[in-house]
Amino acid sequence: MQTTRNIRTGITRTRNNLKFLALAAALMTGCASDRTPTKAAPNPQASAETGAGSTDHQNAAKPSKIKFGEFKSVELKATELNPGENNEANQESAKTIDGILVADLKRIWPNLKVIPKGREFSKSGQRTLQIAPRITHIKIVSTSARVWVGMLAGGSDMAMQVTYRDSASGGVIANPDFTQDSSAWTGAWTMSATDKLIRDAIVQSIVSYTKANK
């Protein structure tokens, strides 16, 4: 009996040591991620304000070919998802992004027309700025994952591409990319709060770019 207890005790200690080493490695990775420098896009793109613990990477290197203020009307499509990541959780994230984006863009254009999911831009006679956001990659660690495995669930990250078109020509006048990430450490420390904040932060990057090109 004593031998059995000793074996069990040894196994438990080994497991605990392995868990400690895994957590330590994740902690080091998370801290390094927090110190990743922001990659700001060249002017006139403005740097967006990011959530705590997140890192903003704006890769939109070029300003719009045409100032957005020249258009008579503006239409915004519902955010599309990469087909390979089109699941229920990511659909909810896309809806959240749409809600924030619509509210913020309506402060710029009160008469903004929102095109529902699955619909096409209208065939208005007015020259229209057509905005089509798309999530090219998304990983947002859930609260339940943070509760059960913490830092071992990894970090959260998202990439979006926004296409701006001139309805008169049908041509693309701007096609910026935006990415946002949050480390495993901050996600675990805040119980997934910073994981979810990357959605808000990436929208602010998009809005900043839009304002800078108006």
- Confidence band, pLDDT 50/70/90 cuts, at residue 197: confident
Q: Which domain does 194 fall in, by range?
A: 2-212
User: How far is Cα 170 from Cα 165, in angstroms, rounded to an integer?
Assistant: 6
Position 175 pLDDT exceeds 70: yes
Q: What is the CATH number of the domain that holds 105?
A: 3.40.50
User: How far is Cα 213 from Cα 54, in angstroms, rounded to an integer?
Assistant: 25
Q: What is the pLDDT of residues 47-78, one digit of tens each?
A: 333 344 444 444 445 899 999 999 999 999 99
Helix, strand or coil for residue 134? strand
Number of domains in the chain: 1
- Report in angstroms the alpha-carbon separations of 147 from 26, 108, 152: 15, 39, 11
Q: At what angle do helices 193-212 and 88-108 cross, to 10 degrees?
A: 40
Cα-to-chain-centroid distance, residue 175: 16
DSSP state of 213: T
Q: What is the mean pLDDT of residues 145-154?
A: 68
Q: What is the pLDDT of residues 8-53, one digit of tens each?
A: 444 344 344 433 333 333 333 333 232 223 333 333 333 333 344 4
Write phi, then psi, for 158 (nearest 5 degrees): -150, 145
Read off the pTM. Answer: 0.70
More confident residue, 173 or 14: 173
User: In terms of C-beta density within 10 A (0-12 exposed, 13-18 middle, 19 or more buried), how is residue 122 classed?
Assistant: middle
Structure-block tokens of residue 21: 């080493």
Write phi, then psi, for 117 (nearest 5 degrees): -60, 135
**Buried b or exposed e, range 70-109, using 16+ CB within 10 angstroms:** ebebbbbbbbbbeeeeeeeebeebbebbbebbeebbeeeb
